[in-house]
Amino acid sequence: MNNNEDNRDPFIIGKHVFGNLYGMDPNILTNEEFLREIAIKAAELANMVIVEAKSWKFGGLKGGVSVIVLVQESHIAIHTWNEYNYATVDIYTCGEKSDPWRAFRYIIDMLKPKYYVVNYADRTQLPIFLTSEINK
């Protein structure tokens, strides 16, 4: 093994929290600046390192706002559809010290949906051992 392989973590920790938000205030759903600020603050509260934040506002049928905060650990995304009073939130991190649940709770507190559905996926990559290592 080379020196880089000796110093690496035995596996990647992946935590993915994502949800659907219903019955939201249309004024919030179309406020691009407010949504971007929420996503940035959520990343900070979750102990993520922000690389860049971008947002876009879309008009017309199925218009809304999309926000993505790229973090060293992965991303936070918020997508809204104002005519449906609906939004989705996606928080994925491979950071051992980051907390996607804290980010999700903050976003929910700020967006105030009437109700929401939240999901979690463990995306941890388990250690992979070569057959020769297992037979030692």
Torsion (CA) 65, 17, 111, 70 in degrees, nearest 10 = -50
Q: Which residue has the tokens 């809204």?
A: 80
DSSP string, 11-45: SB--EEEEEEEES--HHHHT-HHHHHHHHHHHHHH
Tokens matching residue 37: 């600020």
As annotated, the active-site residues are 74, 79, 94
Cα 94 to its chain centre, rounded Å, is 11
